[in-house]
Amino acid sequence: MALPENRLSLADLNGQWIDRFHYRNRLKYIVLDMDSSVSPTHGDQEGTAWNGYFDCTCHHPNLLFNQFGMLERRALRRGNVHGADGWQEVLAPVIARSAKRDIMRFFRADAPYGIPAIYFRLKKRATFTPFGRPPNRFPRRRSRIG
């Protein structure tokens, strides 16, 4: 199963199941939420590296969820990469899959994904409306306290 020629099919498996769910529930819109995460590792595991931001040796996967919390696609990456590195291999196949549906599409992501290349890609396809998350009010409140 883990042969190179099977990797694309395995990567698309979640998406095929999710598409069936969307079709059966007559989805009116989709919201894609891209994020990276930390997966701490121990020992000398392949692909791990020190990440100063997370202060650990880890993998740093890219994840793409929909509004139901379903994982649309993911990519396991080395621990020392930037949060948005490799976004194309995660986002492009999901954009292509969703283009077949007649629904509204929205995209949101955290700061590392606020790069022009992503927005140009979304605008070029004219399929997704990008928007950000509301600002975190905690630091503002904390700064007033002193």
Region 15-35 average pLDDT = 82
| Residue 24 maps to a domain | yes
As given in the structure block, the two tokens for residue 80 are 């020392």
Please give the residue range of the domain that contains residue 72: 8-42+64-133
Q: Is residue 57 part of a domain?
A: no
CA distance linking residue 51 with residue 92, whole number of Å: 26
Report residue 125 CA to chain centroid gap. 18
- Check residue 54 and report its DSSP letter: T
Res. 117 pLDDT band, cuts 50 70 90: confident
Q: Quick one: average pLDDT of 25-47?
A: 87
143 within a domain of the structure (yes/no): no
> Which one-letter DSSP state was computed for residue 68?
T
User: In this structure, what DSSP letter does residue 113 have?
Assistant: G
In the 8-state DSSP scheme, what is residue 5?
G
Residue 52, domain member (yes or no): no
- How many domains is the chain partitioned into structurally? 1
Residue 55 located in a structural domain? no
Asked, for residue 80, whether it belongs to a domain, the answer is yes
* Confidence (pLDDT) at 146: 36
Residue 3 forms part of a structural domain: no
Q: Does residue 90 form part of some domain?
A: yes
User: What residue type is 98 in one-letter code?
Assistant: S
What are residue 20's phi and psi, to 5 degrees? -65, -40
Give per-residue pLDDT as tens, 64-93.
998 888 898 988 888 899 888 999 999 888
The DSSP symbol for 111 reads G
Q: Is residue 42 classed as helix, strand or coil in its secondary structure?
A: coil
**Mean pLDDT value of segment 31-52:** 88
- Give 90-110 pLDDT, tens digit per residue: 988 888 888 777 888 888 888
Give the type of residue at 128: F
| CB-CB contact of 65 with 72 (8 Å) | yes
Whether 56 contacts 26, CB under 8 Å: no
What pLDDT, on a 0 to 100 scale, did the predictor assign at position 58? 92
